[in-house]
Homo-oligomer: A and B are copies of this chain.
Amino acid sequence: MSQDGIDLETSLGYLLKEASSGLRAAMETVLRPLGMSVTHYSCLELLAQRPGLSNSELARGAFVTRQSMNVLLQALERDGDVTRPAEARVGKVLPAQLTPRGRRSLEKATVAVRSVEVRMLGGMTQEEQSGAHRILQSMIHSLRNDGESGSR
């Protein structure tokens, strides 16, 4: 016996999942009235900040496979929110761009998402927020290295 499992109340992994799940749910709630999914929004936001990102780069930035991002991008192109050149200028990479229409739909979504983030951070001091920043980046970095072939 002696505490065999991982205590879910204490486990930082579980808390991380719980917080992320709550954030996603809150984002879905505010984005749904705009007819937008979380991945949908993430894609537009990424393109606004880094115009010319390729499908694969967008996929990595939104934490989905490039196949999933591709079907989303095709829908966004069809709806006129995003443009991609018909053929690559170099390699196979097709740099995507936000259209004015895409920029407009992003604006409303950004406001909604920001309100969620503000609510999430409510009750945290500035110091706690920078602490959270540092801690999360530490977790990310630690997980990135040593994918599977750890020691030995």
Contacts and interface: CB of A to CB of B under 8 A. Distances in A.
Interface of A: 4-8, 10-13, 15-27, 29-30, 45-46, 48-49, 61, 63, 106-107, 110, 113-117, 119-124, 128-129, 131-144, 146-148, 150
Contact of A143 (B10, B120, B146, B147): B120
A8 B120 contact: no
Given A13-B120, A117-B12, A121-B12, A128 B133 contact: no
A124 B12 CA distance: 12
B119 A8 contact: no
A8 to B, nearest CB: 6
Given A5-B106, A12-B129, 10 more contacts: A4-B48, A11-B117, A12-B120, A13-B23, A17-B20, A18-B63, A19-B143, A116-B143, A124-B139, A132-B135
